[in-house]
Structure 1
Amino acid sequence: MGTPPVIAVVGPTGSGKSDLAVNLALELDGEVINADAMQFYRGMDIGTAKITMPERRGVPHHLLDILDVTQEASVSDFQQQARQLIDEIHARGKRAILAGGSGLYVRAALDVLDFPGTDPQLRQQLEADLAASGTAAMLARLLAVDPASAARLSDDRRIIRALEVHQLTGRPFSSFMPRREYVQPAVQVGLAVDRDVLRERLAQRVHAMVDKGLLAEVARLDEQGLRRGKTASRALGYSQFLQVLDGESTVAEAAESTIVATRQFARRQLTWFRADPRISWLDWQDPQLVDRAVDLCR
């Protein structure tokens, strides 16, 4: 009998991915690999709804708490680490279960996807060009060499990355987009949600985070350099509650803006995952959810 398929539990934030992954691990003798970029960060616990030790119920979890808030998350680093872990877990005769809502990270682990390198000097030069000439001029440069990327990118960081990749490889950044082709057999289980119920659940979840001490968590991480972290500082809830520390917002206002941002993020996640025809969708509130998911994974 060959290596069993990798399992991935996907869906929007707040849909119960962590719980389902633990239940699948208990049923199938598995170990969980985190694929939520913000849960890589030590100390970012309340605001990311990171699974606690009691909630893990003895199931080994990997790639949680692996970065300081000042470090930048890297999809290519994650790809290397996740694939190595998958091989190690399978070598132990266990099932590897990815769980998380960071769509590109899930695909980096599962799909044929190459990551071009980086050049700090070239990046620095491009950043200087951006500062001197502005976003529109850089976008025009990108349009000349990679119209597909220029049409879909508006963020300065991504525009610079696309120009860097083209200059390093001679290939358009868009040519490195993932293909829907697994590097090894995989099963993706998606949690299908009732959007109105999810909207309310996300609001309740943010209020619960505030009650658990989100502001104190953000203050503690601020002392550890949260604002210097390019990835961590943009996390849902953290950027909003930094404004509370700066006196630019009240706790109530920060909670409300976090709820709005979280709902928007959940919509983007659903759009991303719905575009993948390989995902098998199960009702997140089905009493037989675990049994149905186990059947898919067997």
Structure 2
Amino acid sequence: MPVDTSPADASEPPVIAVVGPTGSGKSELAVELALELDGEVINADSMQFYRGMDIGTAKISVPDRRGVPHHLLDVLQVTEEASVSDYQRQARAVVADIHGRGKRAILVGGSGLYIRAALDVLDFPGTDPGIRARLETELQESGSATLLERLRTIDPVSAGRLGDTRRMVRALEVFELTGRPFSSFMPTREYFRPAVQIGLEVDREMLRERLAQRVHGMVASGLLSEVERLDAAGLRHGRTAPRALGYAQFLRVLDGETDIAQAADATIVATRQFSRRQLTWFRADPRISWLGWQDPALVSKAARLCR
């Protein structure tokens, strides 16, 4: 499906985005808004793209969708790599389709870069499998310190920001391909088409407890069995899916390196850390309107912002 790159019509309603940390109730609010505004939901959680990754990603169930169409859920096999540039193309095409049918498009998710890829003016450099393979081989042979030092000389901004070797390799690949530092491709806060972003303001201590309870609920619901089934389908061989919260920890249970209780504790810690990073990311965007996650009037206030 081609991407609609034309400017939005002045009469077109803004794209709605519901954002915030994991466990804050984004999916539920998105469904309520869709029912209130005659909308359809577009997933912007990078791990919910994967078929079969349901329990560990807290993917909204079909009954809980309450008849609201949900797009870009279950679109990848666990062996496939999630791509922000592919998502940008797909999400914008879905937005154009939804608006073309006179309905409201509602993005929902906590993957900040994916939200911005859909909403903001943002170009993505291409990829070159040969360059990437060479850099990954060099990483294995020489170690991350050598590549990090090279990145510092050509792109000190990215060198200071990137927290894992995968992103480091990507930054070096982009420089070889384009001659531009990876950091120069970072998005500006300029909407591609009109948008309204609603953030869920949380009580951090309550969220910490909710996240712990959610992980224990996932374990009780069969997370280990889900990971075992996905492992048989090639989970370990994917580039993106095996790093998902919970899945990485419970693969170690299958390997006999830890037990279920330890894996659950490790998942809780990792999930809490991730929620803090999400809050930092979204708090940096002044365009987001924040509403209390437990406000009894949350749906009506959010709908008012969207009208």
TM-score normalised over the length of structure 1: 0.98
Amino acid corresponding to residue 86 of structure 1 in structure 2: V
| 1:174-207 Cα deviation digits (max 9, x unpaired) | 0000101100000000000000110111111111
- Give unpaired runs (5+ residues) of structure 1: none
Amino acid corresponding to residue 215 of structure 2 in structure 1: V
2-structure distance, mates of 1:19, 1:172: 39
1:270 aligns with 2:270: no
| Shift in Å, 1:18 | 0.3
- Of all paired residues, the percent bearing the same amino acid is 74
2-structure distance, mates of 1:213, 1:32: 27
Q: Which residue in 2 is equivalent to 1:206?
A: 215
| 1:261-286 Cα deviation digits (max 9, x unpaired) | 11111010001000000000000000
Amino acid corresponding to residue 215 of structure 1 in structure 2: L
Q: Which residue in 1 is equivalent to 2:153?
A: 144
1:173 aligns with 2:192: no
Q: Which residue in 2 is equivalent to 1:291?
A: 300
Q: Which residue in 2 is equivalent to 1:89?
A: 98
Q: Which residue in 1 is equivalent to 2:246?
A: 237
For the residue of structure 2 that corresponds to 1:96, the secondary structure is strand
1-structure distance, mates of 2:177, 2:295: 49
CA RMSD of aligned residues (A): 0.9
1-structure distance, mates of 2:70, 2:179: 39
- Compare 244-253 and 95-104 and name the one that shifted more: 244-253
For the residue of structure 2 that corresponds to 1:143, the secondary structure is helix
For the residue of structure 2 that corresponds to 1:14, the secondary structure is coil
2-structure distance, mates of 1:218, 1:102: 22
| 1:104-131 Cα deviation digits (max 9, x unpaired) | 0000000011100011111112122222
Q: Provide the aligned length of Structure 1 versus Structure 2.
A: 298
1-structure distance, mates of 2:65, 2:213: 22
1-structure distance, mates of 2:141, 2:13: 53
2:72 pairs with one of 60, 63, 68: 63
| 1:233-254 Cα deviation digits (max 9, x unpaired) | 0101111111111111111111
For the residue of structure 1 that corresponds to 2:17, the secondary structure is strand
| Shift in Å, 1:150 | 1.5
2-structure distance, mates of 1:217, 1:153: 31
1:226 aligns with 2:247: no
Q: Which residue in 1 is equivalent to 2:108?
A: 99
When residues 28 and 154 of structure 1 are mapped into structure 2, their CA distance, relative to the original with a 3 A threshold, is closer
Q: Which residue in 1 is equivalent to 2:49?
A: 40
For the residue of structure 1 that corresponds to 2:102, the secondary structure is coil
2-structure distance, mates of 1:38, 1:57: 22
2-structure distance, mates of 1:157, 1:136: 13
1:24 aligns with 2:12: no
For the residue of structure 1 that corresponds to 2:21, the secondary structure is coil
2-structure distance, mates of 1:159, 1:292: 42
2-structure distance, mates of 1:247, 1:269: 31
- Give unpaired runs (5+ residues) of structure 2: 1-9
1:253 pairs with one of 262, 280, 283: 262
2-structure distance, mates of 1:153, 1:288: 39
2-structure distance, mates of 1:91, 1:15: 31
Q: Which residue in 2 is equivalent to 1:183?
A: 192
1:161 aligns with 2:176: no
For the residue of structure 2 that corresponds to 1:144, the secondary structure is helix
Amino acid corresponding to residue 112 of structure 1 in structure 2: V
For the residue of structure 2 that corresponds to 1:191, the secondary structure is strand
Amino acid corresponding to residue 192 of structure 2 in structure 1: V
2-structure distance, mates of 1:83, 1:215: 35
| Shift in Å, 1:154 | 4.0
| Shift in Å, 1:141 | 1.3
